[in-house]
Amino acid sequence: MTPCVGTAVVRHDPAAASPVVMLRGLRMYGMAQATADLMEQGAPVFEVAIPILS
């Protein structure tokens, strides 16, 4: 078995996922993808905005 080198650990944050679920429900798939990308990158601005968005 080979170790995974260079893989990032992504933590699951339900509060951060709620805007993605909401945007998908509104059929705003591009915005949902952009939000998911920001969440994966750990963008500081997105981290601050999570309480406002959820």
**Cα(44)–Cα(21) distance, rounded to whole angstroms?**
21
Model confidence at 1: pLDDT above 70:
no
What is the distance between the terminal CA atoms of the chain, rounded to a whole angstrom? 40
Listing DSSP states for the chain in one string gives -----SPPP----HHHHHHHHHHHHTT-HHHHHHHHHHHHHT-HHHHHHHHHH-
- Residues 8-52: pLDDT tens digits? 545 666 777 888 899 999 999 999 999 899 888 988 888 888 888
Q: Tell me the domain boundaries of the chain.
A: 14-53
Q: What pLDDT score was predicted for residue 17?
A: 82
The amino acid that residue 15 corresponds to is: A
**Cα(23)–Cα(28) distance, rounded to whole angstroms?**
5
pTM of the model: 0.65
Q: What pLDDT score was predicted for residue 32?
A: 92
